[in-house]
Every structure is written in C-alpha cells, then in structure tokens.
Structure 1
Amino acid sequence: MKPLLLVLLSLFMFTGCKSPEPRKPISRASKSFTNKSLKINKAIVKKEEAYIKEMIQKDSANTYITSADGFWYYYNTKSNDSITPQFGDEVEFNYNLLTLQGDTIYSRKEIGERAYIIDKEEIFTGLRQGLKLMKEGETVTFLFPSHQAYGYYGDNDKIGTHVALKSTVTLNEIKPEIK
C-alpha cells in the first residue's frame, strides 16, 4: 500500500504544479465575414465620394481643393500668412457640423470655441488633418466622407453611422508649442 500511495502522491505533485495554460478563443472572425465587411465599407465610401463630387460640380461659386487625406475643401476667407499649425501647437477655432444637404447637426454656438493641441488630443480625423492646412484667421469649408468624420460609430448622440459631414471652420489663433 505504501508504494502505491507514494506513486499517487508523486504523480499528484507533478501534475498539481503545472502552470495554467491560456485557452484558445471559442469564436474567430471568419475570412468571409472580413471580406464582406470590406466590400460593404468600400461601397459606402464610393457612394459618398460620388455624391460629394456631384455636389462640387454643381457648386460653381467655390473652387474646391482635394486633400491628400481624402476630403474636399474651399476657402471662405484666405490669409496671406505662411504659418500653419505644427505638432504640439495649440489652436483655437470655431466650427459647425452639417449634413451634406446643409441641415445643422451642431451649430457654432452649441460647440463654442475649441482649443486643441495638434496631434496630442482626440478629435475626428478629417478635422485634425484640416486644421493642419489652415492659417490663422482663415475660414474654410470642408466636406468629409464618413470615414474621415465619425465613421461606423457616429458620436453616440446626433451623428449616426456612416454620415458624411460639411463643416465650416475658422482658425482664430495658433499658439506655438513652447519647447
């Protein structure tokens, strides 16, 4: 009986000291789901961009510029200044958010003046890139496809999923980063 007890005890010690192993996930995103999602998102982007380009063609009063980041804009007020905000600079600005059809989502009064430190704080992608193109005193109107705005999630308040936006932004002041 002692040898059997000794064998069981030693077997218990070796198996009992084993470190826990991580479990494998039960479900994984299938490749077909990812491909389907990718196709849907590409179709949404294509549709939004086509609509924006159609709007631009109909608007003969303004000269639109296509940004390298995938949105369009025109100057309401242009400055001769050559300084644009750089990484770490603080900017003070006002803006509004409208649908592409011109319906107000958030007015300038609702949003108020904003202070933002370039590339160090969270703000939606299109606005972040748009502010970097502006000079102090300029007012620019941007047309953002949804992937440059609030995308799939919206803002959990007034902006739903896949909503392209129009925004008129005034850059009031650039405060260079103190190094």
Structure 2
Amino acid sequence: MKLQGLHIICCIICLWGCKTPEARRPVSVSSGSFIQESIQRNKKLAAREEAQIKRLIAQDTSHTYLTSQNGFWYYYRQKDTMATQQPVFGDVVTFNYNIKDLNQNTIYSETEIDTVRYAIDKEELFQGLREGLKLMKEGETVTFLFPSYQAYGYYGDNDKIGTNIPLVSTVTLHTITKQSTKEN
C-alpha cells in the first residue's frame, strides 16, 4: 500500500514537472520614448537645415538648382550636353572637390584635398558626394548643397567639420574608367 502511494505521488510530481515553461517578464519596461524623441529631434533638425538651404537657393537667382532624389540640391557650373556616360557601381573616377559651410567659408580647399581616385560605391566617401558623383559626366563641374544627414551628420569628420553641419561642395569630375563586367 505504501509503495502504491509512493507511485501515485511520483506520477503527480512528474506530471506537474512537465508543465510548459512560461516566459519571464522583463524587470524594466522601456517605452521607446527616447527613440521617439530622437526621431522628432532629427526631423526638426532636417527641416531647419532644408529651410536654410532653400533660403540660399531663393537668394541665388543666377543659378538653376535641381533637387536630387537623395535629398540634396545642386547646380551645374559646367555641363557637358554631349557626353552620355555616368559612373555606375565599380567604375573608377578621378575628381577634385572642396568643402564649404553654407556661409561659403572654406573648410577644406581643393588643394588640401587634392585629386581623388574613387571606385564608385566600393570605398568610403560621405553619402551625398557618393550619390552626387553618379549624377555627373566627365568634364562637368557641379556645386552641391548637402544637409548634414547627407554629409558628415552627427559625428562630423573628427577634424574641421563639426556636428550636424550642412555643406556646400563644388566637384569637378575628370575621368570615368569603366570596369569590365565580363567574368573571366
């Protein structure tokens, strides 16, 4: 009889022990308010920078500005209407550029930066300039107006460009070297 009672107790313990595990609740619950506040702050910053750039464009009646799909503005200083070739992924381009703030104060001159050799989308370059080069043809000179999120953003360049600085950059594209798309 004692043995039978012991079997019943063991069966009850085994059945109770086979219960599915319950998920543990977090000790602290994050509401996501920091992220929402950050989003709102960044939207206000972007709107303020875009308003600054649009004021500059409105004051500059001597140039015809274009808006890129990537969120920056530009105008041609020298346009080549005959060329059709624009750089694409992997092409190697050589170009010169400078960087100024919106008040036209030079941050980096063309001579400081020197001629740059860059493989499109395969090397590091700030986002706006990377996308701007893809709009150009050989021999063209274009002035770009970049909001900070298209330039160096929150971190700057850890040297002369500070946090959230919109930039103006004049770029001259010298050569486009097409890369072979054939497989060996």
Give the structure-2-normalised TM-score: 0.81
For residues 48 and 94 of structure 1, the distance between their equivalents in structure 2, rounded to whole angstroms, comes to 25
5+ residue gaps, structure 1: 1-24
Q: What count of residue pairs does the alignment treat as equivalent? A: 155
For residues 98 and 29 of structure 2, the distance between their equivalents in structure 1, rounded to whole angstroms, comes to 41
Give the structure-1-normalised TM-score: 0.83
Distance 1:112 1:33, change over 3 A: same
Q: Check if 1:78 corresponds to 2:79.
A: yes
Q: Check if 1:167 corresponds to 2:169.
A: yes
3-state SS of paired residue (2:33): helix
For residues 109 and 28 of structure 2, the distance between their equivalents in structure 1, rounded to whole angstroms, comes to 44
Residue 123 of structure 1 corresponds to 125
User: Which residue among 133, 136, 141 is the counterpart of 1:134?
Assistant: 136
How far residue 178 of structure 1 moved from its aligned partner, in angstroms, is 2.3
Which structure's CA Rg is the greater one? 2
Aligned-residue CA RMSD (Å):
1.6
Residue 53 of structure 1 corresponds to 54
Percent identity over paired residues: 58
How far residue 64 of structure 1 moved from its aligned partner, in angstroms, is 0.1
5+ residue gaps, structure 2: 1-25
Q: C-alpha offsets along residues 64-108 of structure 1, whole Å, 9 cap, x if unaligned? A: 000000000000000120100011000000000000110000000
Give the AA of the match of 1:173: T
How far residue 122 of structure 1 moved from its aligned partner, in angstroms, is 1.0
For residues 128 and 55 of structure 1, the distance between their equivalents in structure 2, rounded to whole angstroms, comes to 23
For residues 26 and 73 of structure 1, the distance between their equivalents in structure 2, rounded to whole angstroms, comes to 51
Distance 1:26 1:41, change over 3 A: farther
1:3-152 matches, cutoff 5 A: 31-79=32-80, 80-152=82-154
